[in-house]
Amino acid sequence: MNSQPNPSNLNDLIFDNRFIRELPADEETINNRRQVFGACYSRVKPTPVVNPQRVAYSREVAELLDLTADACEADDFTQVFSGNSLTAGMESYATCYGGHQFGNWAGQLGDGRAINLGEIVNQKGERWALQLKGAGPTPYSRTADGLAVLRSSVREFLCSEAMYHLGVPTTRALSLVLTGETVIRDMFYDGNPKAEPGAIVCRVAPSFTRFGSFQILTARGDVALLKKLADYTICTDFPHLGEPSPDVYITWFTEVCRRTAEMIVHWQRVGFVHGVMNTDNMSILGLTIDYGPYGWLENFDLNWTPNTTDVEQRRYRFGNQPQIAYWNLGQLANAIYPLIEQVEPLQEALAVYKLTFEQNWQTMMAGKLGLNAFDTATDGDLCTELLELLALIETDMTLFYRQLAKIDISVEPVDYEAIFNLLSVAYYVPEQITPEYKSRLTVWLERYLKRLKIDGTSNDLRRQRMNAVNPKYVLRNYLAQLAIDKADQGDFSMVNELLELLRHPYNEQPDQEEFAAKRPDWARQRAGCSMLSCSS
């Protein structure tokens, strides 16, 4: 283990770069758009920018990399993470992968606007890959420029860290840097392009390997390289499984299924909608990856998608995320089939996804409702009726569960009007609360309170449990947009304020109550607050 003190500058980072040491590179070294065969990556350098400016950095991610605050606030940090310079040990490259986009095979995709700087090994022996998003074109950029704009970069930076603190498996974000240049984007693909501030996010993860990394190789019939990549992935990211073999490939795929199910349950728990669950946006480690047109469910709507590109099909809507993850795993199973050549073990692994999701979903709902454990005899119907009630009128999901925790079950007789008043802060349209709705809610509350009394848990313990899994603060779409609006004017205060707020999403923060309020009416249809596109 490395025993040297925290790096005082970036040149002290220990780069291992195992990915490019052990896997084949693109023989072509010119950075032109092309199909790349027989390789897992292409060497490419970031495009220098004119006037980089650090907007924010995550101190927790810096600590993962053994970086001090002084190191992060130095000018060379800004230069490196804007792509202007590489430190000792960095070897930059972009990876090759394919994928299904909106259910259709899209062929080669790859890191079109992401450039990896390499992998470090920290003092704990942990491996962390560093990747710049928006650092210029690569051979995989197709017709795009490889750049990113401030609005999407603010959203990715904040959401990566918000998700981590919520307890959701995710890639991380080290830094957000302005480039000092403008980027032309047509935000809604409606023929109205405009110049926007350019920005770059440094993303951090143990690995950025995707389902599509394997799919592209199978689609091209390159089984030798498929095996090489699978063996590398198992040895590097799943070493506990043992030496690669057909049996280990099955165990590995089963673990990927299990991790993916666990991730999706967390998404459903906190009301996160990814928005573009293509197979190239699925991490082999079961991490949330690629924060594009994501959104936070505010009024509970199983059919809601934040992605304008998906507004008609709604393939990636909130309620469909568990099914899409299963479908995507099926495509991964097809991709690794040549290594196993047996259908039944892969089907059994996919069944593990369903079982894991169902069990974890039940545990998750029991936690959200403050129950000791999920009772299949009664709690399935209890949860089904609740979800129907939440969707029946515009109900703020985050606020509802936090308010539900405040019910005092020791009060006899039950004052249902007081409970309605307690829950009313979660409703967007008071006129929707009809006598019929209140009657139905009363019936559910009667069942719920009876169920709580069977558990016999004290108010305090129940509230503690509920508040530990039901966040008070999430990165509401309108909050991110307000931070973007200020940042567009050169004021980065709200970016950093939200970063600090979201470090403690389950805690009461009395001086930050405004950030826990439901979406204001002005944000209902505003661009960036309700719907987003894949444009960045």
Residues 6+ apart with CB under 8 A from 109: 97, 98, 99, 101, 140, 212, 216, 280
Residues 6+ apart with CB under 8 A from 341: 246
* Domain-ending residue, one of 367, 390, 406: 367
| Predicted pLDDT of residue 191 | 78
* CB atoms inside a 10 Å sphere around CB 304: 19
Cα-based distances in Å from 80 to 49, 53, 73, 206, 225: 11, 11, 12, 20, 32
Q: Are 401 and 383 found together in one domain?
A: yes
> Is residue 392 assigned to a domain?
yes
| Predicted pLDDT of residue 2 | 46
Contact 254, 352 (CB under 8 A): yes
Which residue type is seen at 459? N
Distance CA 237, CA 334 (A): 21
> Is residue 173 assigned to a domain?
yes
| Predicted pLDDT of residue 525 | 82
Bridge partners (DSSP) listed for residue 41: 25, 95
Q: Are 289 and 312 found together in one domain?
A: yes
Q: Are 53 and 167 found together in one domain?
A: yes
Q: Are 308 and 430 found together in one domain?
A: no
Contact 325, 277 (CB under 8 A): yes
pTM beyond 0.85: yes
Q: Are 118 and 184 found together in one domain?
A: yes
Q: Are 295 and 164 found together in one domain?
A: no
> Is residue 2 assigned to a domain?
no
Q: Are 114 and 208 found together in one domain?
A: yes
151: helix, coil or strand?
A: helix
Which tokens go with 394? Answer: 């515009």
* Domain-ending residue, one of 456, 488, 508: 456
Task: Tell me which DSSP letter residue 26 carries.
Answer: P
Residue written as token pair 């996919």: 350
Contact 328, 289 (CB under 8 A): no
Q: Is 280 a catalytic residue?
A: yes
DSSP sequence for 168-234: --B-EEEEEEEEEEEEEE-TTSSS--EEEEEEEEEEEES---BHHHHHHHHHTT-HHHHHHHHHHHH
Query: What is the SS3 assignment for 469-529?
Result: HCCCCCCCHHHHHHHHHHHHCCCCHHHHHHHHHCCCCCCCCHHHHHHHCCCCHHHCCCCCC
Q: Are 172 and 313 found together in one domain?
A: no
DSSP sequence for 55-99: EEE-HHHHHHTT--HHHHTSHHHHHHTTTS---TT---EEE--EE
* Domain-ending residue, one of 434, 456, 478: 456
Distance CA 455, CA 522 (A): 43
Q: Are 107 and 173 found together in one domain?
A: yes
Q: Are 275 and 205 found together in one domain?
A: no
| Predicted pLDDT of residue 74 | 95
Which tokens go with 48? Answer: 């220098």
Give the range of the structural domain holding residue 361, as residue numbers without chain letter: 243-367
Q: Are 394 and 263 found together in one domain?
A: no
Dihedral angle at the C-alpha atoms of 164, 165, 167, 171, nearest 10 degrees? 0
Contact 277, 327 (CB under 8 A): no
Task: Tell me which DSSP letter residue 273 carries.
Answer: E
Question: How many residues does the structure list for the chain?
Answer: 536
> Is residue 416 assigned to a domain?
yes
Distance CA 177, CA 471 (A): 29
> Is residue 347 assigned to a domain?
yes
> Is residue 192 assigned to a domain?
yes
> Is residue 267 assigned to a domain?
yes
Which tokens go with 383? Answer: 């949860």
Distance CA 263, CA 200 (A): 26
If one counts the domains in the chain, the total is: 3
Active-site residue identified among 26, 66, 111, 280? 280
Contact 176, 58 (CB under 8 A): no
Q: Give, for all 536 residues of the chain, the pLDDT tens digit.
A: 444 455 557 988 999 999 999 999 999 999 999 999 999 999 999 999 999 999 999 999 999 999 999 999 999 999 999 999 999 999 999 999 999 999 999 999 999 999 999 999 999 999 999 999 999 999 999 989 999 999 999 999 999 999 999 999 999 999 999 999 999 988 766 777 899 999 999 999 999 999 999 999 999 999 999 999 999 999 999 999 999 999 999 999 999 999 999 999 999 999 999 999 999 999 999 999 999 999 999 999 999 999 989 989 999 999 999 999 999 999 999 999 999 999 999 999 999 999 999 999 999 999 999 999 999 999 999 999 999 999 999 999 999 999 999 999 999 999 999 999 999 999 999 999 999 999 999 999 999 999 999 999 999 999 999 999 999 999 999 999 999 999 999 999 999 999 999 999 999 999 999 999 999 999 888 877 877 766 55
> Is residue 190 assigned to a domain?
yes
Distance CA 336, CA 250 (A): 9
Q: Are 398 and 303 found together in one domain?
A: no
| Predicted pLDDT of residue 529 | 82
